[in-house]
Amino acid sequence: MAEVNATDGWEPKIIAIVCNWCTYAGADLAGISRIQYPPNVRIVRLPCTGRINPFYVMKALQEGADGVLVSGCHPGECHYLTGNYHARRKFAMLKRYLSYVGMEPDRTNFTWCSASEGERFAKVIKGVTEKVRALGPAKKLVKTL
């Protein structure tokens, strides 16, 4: 993936790690409602953002994702009550930390998106895809061996 040049038909690959109860259903809704969004996203479903280990984000980046998106229930709406509040703390730290070591901040993204927000899901995917496209293919932390 790294060897594909930004100019010759490179398409960003984005890993979306999402909560089963909201964003995943939101993606479903977007599909059912035939709302168009870029096909660059690969969805990984977990039971709750509280279950998303920050390592998954870093691992995805190492394995060749050009961008990562983590999305869960809006604050106050977590199926397990507090999973997303805990996740918010972890990812606030992670986002700052990855920028600090010199990774491009726009490669890691966090958002909330509920089951009824099909429109918003499409908008988020569009937005993240554009941000990552602007950065070009990931070079940092990408495993080549």
Q: Which is nearer to another protein, 9 or 102 (CB)?
A: 102
Min dist. Cβ of residue 89 to ligand FES (A): 13
Residue 128 interface partner, choices ligand FES, another protein, none, CB cut-off 5-8 Å depending on type: another protein
The continuous run of DSSP H or E covering 119 comes out as helix 118-135
Distance CA 83, CA 48 (A): 6
The correct pick among 23, 48, 91, 133 for binding another protein (CB under 8 A) is 91
Q: Is 8 near another protein (CB under 8 A)?
A: no
DSSP 2: T
Residue 18 interface partner, choices ligand FES, another protein, none, CB cut-off 5-8 Å depending on type: none
The correct pick among 123, 133, 134, 136 for binding another protein (CB under 8 A) is 123
| Per-residue exposure over 60-80, b if at least 16 CB sit within 10 Å of its own CB, e if not | bbeebbbbbbbbbbeeeebee
Return the closest-CA partner of residue 44 out of 64, 15, 83. Answer: 15
Q: Is 70 near ligand FES (CB under 6 A)?
A: no
Residue 21 interface partner, choices another protein, ligand FES, none, CB cut-off 5-8 Å depending on type: ligand FES
The correct pick among 22, 69, 113, 124 for binding ligand FES (CB under 6 A) is 22
Q: Which residues bind ligand FES (CB under 6 A)?
A: 19, 21-22, 48-50, 72-73, 78-80, 83-84
